[in-house]
Amino acid sequence: MNFIAMDFETANAQRHSACSLALTKVENSQIVDEFYTLIKPETKFFWKNIQVHGIRPQDVADAPKFPEIWPIIQPYFQKNNLVVAHNASFDNSVLAGCLNYYNLEPANFLSLCTVKTSRKLYPEIDNHKLNTICKFLDIPLDNHHDALADSRACAHILLEEEKYFGTEPLKSLVIAK
């Protein structure tokens, strides 16, 4: 499998408030590269978001704004590229929110959600949260809500699903964005 696992953390509930992003690149079913950056959002931080991910305004004071990182990551978000996220509707909406806020062209890519794949392939699990699935599959998740740890865990989930179930049951859950 070839895909990018993506995870955003946000400063608040606004979808353009990304404050960190991680991408884990998988080629031929192997993790081959990772990208992580803090992002300086143009919104205020909400205390509950800080409580979840631990990123504070002072942590991003010198970080790039989203338009500065978009040229670096844009090649991953092309028409035939598969981008995977755990709760992809959230991460895809953050990407779309950032692109829209900064008047950047929308991204077109293939999307797959590991919450949905896990619900389909592991219906016996009580919930399909990232930490629950990681525990069930014995995937290390050292720092949940750290974007890099979460994107890496998401990549491992899909690789485990491919290993045990193949790609056929996953294909029906891929959507075009």
The pTM of the full predicted model, rounded to 2 decimals, is 0.96
Which whole-number Å values give the CA distances from 82 to 75, 78, 110, 126, 177, in the listed order? 12, 9, 5, 28, 10
Q: What does the mean pLDDT of the chain come to?
A: 96
Percent of the residues in the chain that have a pLDDT greater than 90, as a whole number = 95
Q: Strand 110-113 vs strand 18-27: parallel, antiparallel, or unpaired?
A: unpaired
Decide if pLDDT at 177 tops 90.
Answer: no
Q: For 124-151, what is each residue's pLDDT tens digit?
A: 999 999 999 999 999 999 888 899 999 9
Per-residue pLDDT tens over the stretch 79-136? 899 999 999 999 999 999 999 999 999 999 999 999 999 999 999 999 999 999 999 9
* 55 pLDDT higher than 90: yes
Going through the chain in order, the beta strands assigned E by DSSP cover 3-10, 18-27, 30-38, 82-85, 110-113, 175-176
Q: What domains appear along the chain, each with residue ranges and CATH number? A: 3-176 (3.30.420.10)
The pLDDT value recorded for residue 169 is 92
Residue 144 confidence (pLDDT): 87
pLDDT of 165 strictly over 90: yes
Neighbours of 127 (CB within 10 A): 10
Give tens-digit pLDDT for 10-54: 999 999 999 999 999 999 999 999 999 999 999 999 999 999 999
Question: Beta strands 3-10 and 110-113: pairing type?
Answer: unpaired
Does residue 20 sit in helix, strand or coil? Answer: strand
Which three-class secondary structure state does DSSP give residue 16? coil
Query: Is there a contact between 49 and 14 (Cβ–Cβ < 8 Å)?
Result: no
